[in-house]
Structure 1
């Protein structure tokens, strides 16, 4: 692991603190950054998210899709959880808590906005950070790559319809044009750019050239992640400090969803006798969110100062400590699973 990965929780915590501090000390600067929009897309956020996502997309090997049938169990579990369970449980938890459990503490309009935010989180399975979680559990990197590649292909076609369906079910207006534009900007274009880059690198120098290139651009991804966190918490800094109970209320369904999805996936993998080096990343992919996409789409659809954007930012706040706790749990229960390459 790199120094960044080893101390990820610390760097994110420092970035959150810096964002809150700077957002309250320099509201004019963050207001100016917030105003840099084209077609409902905030340009600073877009640049930083591309910086985060592009290096990961270069690592997506579409050739690995040839092997999706070699060891189908882990992939089947991941796909069922990601696309048939997770988006719907997240929407249900959002409605339960914001429309009912916390109804006396949250205005109805804010409740709908928070529901929209958690729906965006639940419909976007992890794409980048899952490689970190897989590495921390000593997962099978090739199988993780297959899972991520398949999820990315599905996301191109399924994210917008699932989000639109769930927003419609919860009576939230769906700006289809902006939603499709967001998927194009934050999924399709980086994926296409990563594919073109990878093909050229493989042609010129093979997989070693890909690894060397990713090593060179990886710092941009790290800077992009931390700068995005600073920016997001700077935009929402005043709200977060003025309304800490709202942050806690948003965190509740996110925490229940994260731990619930993990144990559902982990338990299914154990019941199906999937080896640990596939079972652990399988559960991590289902639990973690592509929060970069969720944040960007929330800002595009509802605006920087919206409750939906705030909910996705709380997702960033919750994700890192939750995932690190689940990595520790998975490593402590490694003996529950068979070892080796025998997944079928």
Structure 2
């Protein structure tokens, strides 16, 4: 199979107008969703009724619009390079699957069963905990290309990390989420959880692989085919994200208007988790002398979340208007500004980091 230079795929991840100001667009989408949910509640009730097997069809279509272009960029051929530089990959796997889900669960329980116990009802607290668990157990796959490019990370290694992460997610996401939800005494509907994993990871990943093969076969020697294809679909992905936010906050409009402070409460553990995971991974990479072009994406992939999957599973498990869905949507609001601040921090510390790092 022909291969595409990773720099061409990361070129498609360059920040355009929408991506550069994504936090602003998300904020505007939230305002629009809340406004529409208040003035047209009947419309959102109708949209909420369009579901099959606990999966809301409008939201499913929008999430597929987000995920599919990103899955095309995954290069399974890059897995052959896993053994070349194992340190960064080891850190990525350990943090994403052995640390991050459990620290997020711990923070969720700490804040909503202890520190915020007087501010939310026990039933609502369980919903928020479930949403935060789903967010923490879904490590980023797509936006990593953007963060890597912004830190001038090693593009080939980033592709290895993303490919391995996606394969692990197919097998590990559902069991980890089920275990953590069970630990927090929340009933786990396994059928819906597994269906969501298949719908939002396995199928898009398979379609992305097929599309990639077709593009490479038709492009022959043209190594820019995949970069051009994903760049052309990027507006669809961003618009899918914004439309999903509008819908989700439309479904949650009454809660947001009646309890605006709830958004801030949900943001607190997410922000602490994000900065904590980044510093842990970045410090470990520094101590292990991992070069900056590998260490920076390694820390960022552990910090960022696959919020599309988290939102989809929250909706499937607990419903469109649930507290769990709201918690995952707050993750969308928090993620972009937090990640941009961490990219800036990584770039500022590049010199000192590279002076120490060696394989």
What's the TM-score once normalised by structure 1's chain length? 0.96
Distance in 2, Cα, partners of 1:103 & 1:66 = 49
CA RMSD of aligned residues (A): 1.5
**2:224 aligned counterpart, secondary structure:** helix
Once the 2 structures are TM-superposed, how far is the Cα of residue 343 of structure 1 from its aligned partner? 6.0
The count of residues paired between Structure 1 and Structure 2 equals 343
- Of residues 225-234 and 33-42 in structure 1, the stretch that sits farther from structure 2 once superposed is 225-234
Distance in 2, Cα, partners of 1:6 & 1:310 = 24
Q: Quote the residue 1:63 is aligned against.
A: 77
Once the 2 structures are TM-superposed, how far is the Cα of residue 305 of structure 1 from its aligned partner? 1.0
Listed one character per residue, the Cα deviations across residues 33-83 of structure 1 (whole Å, up to 9, x for unaligned) are 111111100111100110010001011010000001111111111111000
- Does 1:118 find its partner at 2:137? no
- Of residues 205-214 and 51-60 in structure 1, the stretch that sits farther from structure 2 once superposed is 205-214
Once the 2 structures are TM-superposed, how far is the Cα of residue 211 of structure 1 from its aligned partner? 2.1
Q: Quote the residue 2:248 is aligned against.
A: 232
Contact 2:23 2:333 in 1 (8 A): no
Once the 2 structures are TM-superposed, how far is the Cα of residue 148 of structure 1 from its aligned partner? 0.6
- Does 1:100 find its partner at 2:114? yes
Q: Quote the residue 2:288 is aligned against.
A: 272
- Does 1:192 find its partner at 2:206? yes
Q: Quote the residue 2:55 is aligned against.
A: 41
In structure 2, stretches of 5+ residues that fail to align are 1-13
Contact 2:135 2:331 in 1 (8 A): yes
Contact 1:46 1:296 in 2 (8 A): yes
Q: Quote the residue 1:151 is aligned against.
A: 165
Residue 16 and residue 343 in structure 1: after superposition, are their counterparts in 2 closer, same or farther (change >3 A)? farther
In structure 1, stretches of 5+ residues that fail to align are none
Contact 1:91 1:122 in 2 (8 A): yes
Distance in 1, Cα, partners of 2:88 & 2:127 = 34
Contact 1:73 1:343 in 2 (8 A): no
Once the 2 structures are TM-superposed, how far is the Cα of residue 285 of structure 1 from its aligned partner? 0.5
Listed one character per residue, the Cα deviations across residues 168-199 of structure 1 (whole Å, up to 9, x for unaligned) are 11111100000000000000000000001111
**1:338 aligned counterpart, secondary structure:** helix
Distance in 2, Cα, partners of 1:336 & 1:233 = 43
- Does 1:77 find its partner at 2:91? yes
2:234 equivalent among 218, 221, 224: 218
Residue 197 and residue 42 in structure 1: after superposition, are their counterparts in 2 closer, same or farther (change >3 A)? same
Residue 46 and residue 343 in structure 1: after superposition, are their counterparts in 2 closer, same or farther (change >3 A)? farther
Distance in 2, Cα, partners of 1:165 & 1:329 = 34
Distance in 2, Cα, partners of 1:272 & 1:23 = 50
Distance in 1, Cα, partners of 2:95 & 2:304 = 12
Q: Quote the residue 1:302 is aligned against.
A: 318
Q: Quote the residue 1:292 is aligned against.
A: 308
Once the 2 structures are TM-superposed, how far is the Cα of residue 287 of structure 1 from its aligned partner? 0.5
